[in-house]
Chains A and B, each alone.
Chain A
């Protein structure tokens, strides 16, 4: 147990240091691969011993509390330094606030260390660890070839790779630490590390634009950190403990809800919910593996993880209702904004915000079915979104554009990547795949809440719209059926294919995933939500036949594949162009006998769903909802 947690938390820190000081790419790559391997193995071994809790006294021979405290201050001063360096007043204010409050908390309020255990691992933590360690490791592996390409493309004289991989590994360790921490001071410490990592990685390319976006991410996340530490101070004065488990199970009294509301608020900033979406959108300037790791599959999940953790404490209160409405609103608004986007990475970013909103809505509905939905969404969203981000990264390096319109007919240029992307999109929106299973549960769980359900219904229709058109145009080109071979580094194939298999196969075994991973979460507050019989998830009001549907889907898939094989022998006719098409594909004979390219663009409906039009209103509504949340807690 000690060894496993050591590997999961401390080892990435050590590897990060080694990566940072190694000048040779080969050695660095092997360190990354070895760390990834160890992380995957130890996270899998953790399944057997969950749940557990323990409190280490020392780490690497030093008192663990002192180490954390020193590093905590170090990070805050670093943030303070970056604030001064980039002349950003908000960052400076938030950093000073945090330093003062942390000092006050440590030296004046906490008389003796009462938190035990420091680390606590239940199924929720385990699921997060598996996502972080497995998906995160796969992304790190893919970033080896990606960064090589990236640096060659930029033509850097001094490689910035050591810094990149150092921060990536550091981040993995911090994430593992965060989800294992039971002591809120530890949680806060890891929270701050992830903020710093995000800042460093967004600004990785060191151009004016990346730095501007990185600074924006830093101030917004520092706001989250400041809210967090304020919540800790109040919590400590109210119940005299910073123990997550204790807080959840303490009876509510006095100013009890304010710190919880503040923690939810901090969670919203971390998960880039409206009105803080701009940092996540700006973060898309980072190299794509960063977007995949931090800004879709892991770091932004901290927010939803926190709220799910706090779920039992707020069950049946006004606060949980607010979170549900806020989440549902974000789900709808981000989906609407995604419809108006043609930039592939922005679509992914908005879709991430949207899905996080849905998970928040689930956490807010706070029934056992909703919690199940939320956890399933976390798992499958992490896998699928990581896959899609990596695909967009590969595509971007190949066609030098991230615009969806430029991906028209990508199948003829990079068939395998295009296919994997389409599969990724399909797993986002179609049954029997995990995300849709989660959405089904969410809708059924929300059906007693009239506002939430109407908003979810609208949002889910918008979601279909922006995914379907993307999947469609990837295949949009007449092709004669000859597979062109596509060359990519082996590590790219390994990561893409493993994520793709993960997204599809894991969906098919989701009933068992549910029995193994999610049922242990239920307790006296959450009754078991679904019963699994013969691969069918069922409760008194509904049933989702995962296995039968998967089998039918597989049969349908194979029949369709056979149909394609038959279609490959069919006569190929040019698309209908009013009869004036020329032999050159997609062109017609225009005026003066000149060839003209026939063009059709996607509907982005920017007059309705455009960023300029919607953002301000969406932010306004979100602020009102957050005010409601804080005000309701007072």
Chain B
């Protein structure tokens, strides 16, 4: 890949990332509303929200929040850029974990119990999905022989056929990362107010806007990971992502929020079993 091509891809990723993420968010809200026999907001609603937030008064609980929010955004941006550079998947995963850690650290810097407990739940969520994500990446590596995304794109068969269970495992990680029920413990898009707004409780105004944008990047990154499972043609990618995302919304709407104990037990037991089975298949070949 030439240098100019690389720069073009990075710019594309960084600019298009939040646009796509926001649009997906808007569609998500409309479809969710239809599930609940409502009309729902306009498709551009997430952009209105973030725009408004960015223009609000700058208030902080603790100046560290600003550091953490900006770092979260930076890490998420870098991880998406790395993906578009077709870099090493493990590195991308580590960089996005940096963002998640900063979100937690920022929430912990407030003394509000809501924020603190939200932060700890976010940590538990990370604890639940991080090993699964590593195993998914390992599975892709075993199949393609490389950790680089470029190798996945040059692979001639869709990965989904060889890694069906690992795709389900990735689905678990995606559900947690998208903050969908039953895993919306730390914070949620809806007005379930058990923890107020959990990990984002004490972020306000522009900082909350930044966190929302960073979340869009994360969503895009995870959907990109999903798309790797049908990387042979664009139509396949889009269909796969659409079906996956539709299922996510469905699950969100039919399930209640569960406790962290249930999440940890369930995700680790099912996720690890499925990955183990799938990995054993791969090692056997």
Touch between chains A and B, by CB atoms below 8 Å? yes
A-to-B contact residues, CB < 8 Å: 408-409, 411, 429-431, 436, 440, 443-444, 447-448, 450, 453-454, 456-458, 460-462, 464-465, 468-469, 471-473, 475-479, 481, 540-545, 549, 552, 555-557, 559-561, 563-564, 566-568, 570-577, 585-586, 598-600, 602-603
- Closest Cβ of chain B to A51, distance in Å, is 33
Q: Is the CB–CB distance between B147 and A472 below 8 Å? A: no
Q: Which 7 pairs from chain A and chain B are nearest by CB?
A: A472-B108, A556-B74, A575-B112, A567-B66, A600-B116, A542-B147, A461-B130
Q: Is the CB–CB distance between A479 and B63 below 8 Å? A: yes
Q: Is the CB–CB distance between A465 and B123 below 8 Å? A: yes
Chain B's interface: helix, strand, loop or mixed, by majority? helix
Beyond A443-B90, A461-B131, A572-B61, is A602–B120 a contact (Cβ under 8 Å)?
Answer: yes
B280 within 8 A of A: yes
Residues of A within 8 A of B147 (CB): 444, 541-542
- Closest Cβ of chain A to B122, distance in Å, is 9
Q: Is the CB–CB distance between A575 and B61 below 8 Å? A: yes
Q: Is the CB–CB distance between B115 and A576 below 8 Å? A: yes
Residues of A within 8 A of B110 (CB): 476, 478, 575-576
Residue of B111, B131, B146 touching A542 (CB-CB under 8 A): B146
CA distance A603 to B105 in the complex (A): 14
Q: Is the CB–CB distance between A462 and B127 below 8 Å? A: yes
Residues of B within 8 A of A447 (CB): 138, 141-142
Encode contact with A along B55-80: 1 for CB under 8 Å, 0 otherwise.
Answer: 00111111111111111001100100
Residue of A468, A545, A567 touching B104 (CB-CB under 8 A): A468
B180 within 8 A of A: no
Beyond A476-B109, A573-B61, A600-B113, is A556–B101 a contact (Cβ under 8 Å)?
Answer: no
- Closest Cβ of chain B to A501, distance in Å, is 20
List which B104-162 residues lie within 8 A (CB) of chain A. 104-117, 119-120, 123-124, 126-127, 130-132, 134-135, 138, 141-142, 145-148
B204 within 8 A of A: yes
B212 within 8 A of A: no
Residues of B within 8 A of A481 (CB): 63
- Closest Cβ of chain A to B43, distance in Å, is 31
Q: Is the CB–CB distance between B59 and A571 below 8 Å? A: yes
- Closest Cβ of chain B to A204, distance in Å, is 35
B20 within 8 A of A: no
Q: Is the CB–CB distance between B141 and A541 below 8 Å? A: yes
Residues of B within 8 A of A542 (CB): 88, 90-91, 146-148
Residue of B59, B66, B196 contacting most chain A CB atoms (<10 Å): B66
B227 within 8 A of A: no
Number of residue pairs spanning A and B whose beta carbons lie under 8 angstroms apart? 212
Q: Is the CB–CB distance between B101 and A429 below 8 Å? A: yes
Can you show 28 pairs from A to B with CB atoms below 8 A apart? A430-B101, A447-B141, A450-B283, A453-B135, A454-B272, A454-B279, A457-B131, A457-B135, A457-B138, A464-B126, A464-B130, A469-B120, A472-B106, A475-B109, A476-B62, A476-B116, A478-B111, A549-B78, A549-B91, A552-B74, A559-B74, A560-B71, A566-B66, A572-B60, A573-B59, A575-B202, A576-B115, A603-B124
Residues of B within 8 A of A541 (CB): 141, 145-148
CA distance A559 to B77 in the complex (A): 13
Q: Which residue of A lies closest to B283 (CB)?
A: A450
- Closest Cβ of chain B to A271, distance in Å, is 25
- Closest Cβ of chain B to A176, distance in Å, is 35
Residue of A469, A478, A545, A575 touching B87 (CB-CB under 8 A): A545
CA distance A574 to B59 in the complex (A): 10
Beyond A566-B66, A567-B65, A576-B201, is A543–B87 a contact (Cβ under 8 Å)?
Answer: yes
- Closest Cβ of chain A to B75, distance in Å, is 7
Q: Is the CB–CB distance between A440 and B94 below 8 Å? A: yes
Q: Which residue of A lies closest to B61 (CB)?
A: A575
CA distance A556 to B78 in the complex (A): 10
Q: Which residue of A lies closest to B104 (CB)?
A: A468
Q: Which residue of A lies closest to B129 (CB)?
A: A461
Residue of A436, A540, A567 contacting most chain B CB atoms (<10 Å): A567
Q: Is the CB–CB distance between B204 and A477 below 8 Å? A: no
Residue of B59, B67, B127 touching A570 (CB-CB under 8 A): B59
CA distance A570 to B66 in the complex (A): 10
Q: Is the CB–CB distance between A479 and B62 below 8 Å? A: yes
- Closest Cβ of chain A to B283, distance in Å, is 6
Residues of A within 8 A of B78 (CB): 549, 552, 556
Q: Is the CB–CB distance between B70 and A440 below 8 Å? A: no
Q: Is the CB–CB distance between B70 and A556 below 8 Å? A: yes
- Closest Cβ of chain B to A460, distance in Å, is 7
- Closest Cβ of chain B to A302, distance in Å, is 30
Residue of B107, B111, B127, B283 touching A477 (CB-CB under 8 A): B111
Residues of B within 8 A of A570 (CB): 58-60, 63, 66
Residues of A within 8 A of B87 (CB): 543, 545
Beyond A454-B272, A542-B88, is A461–B126 a contact (Cβ under 8 Å)?
Answer: yes
Q: Which residue of A lies closest to B57 (CB)?
A: A571
CA distance A559 to B70 in the complex (A): 7
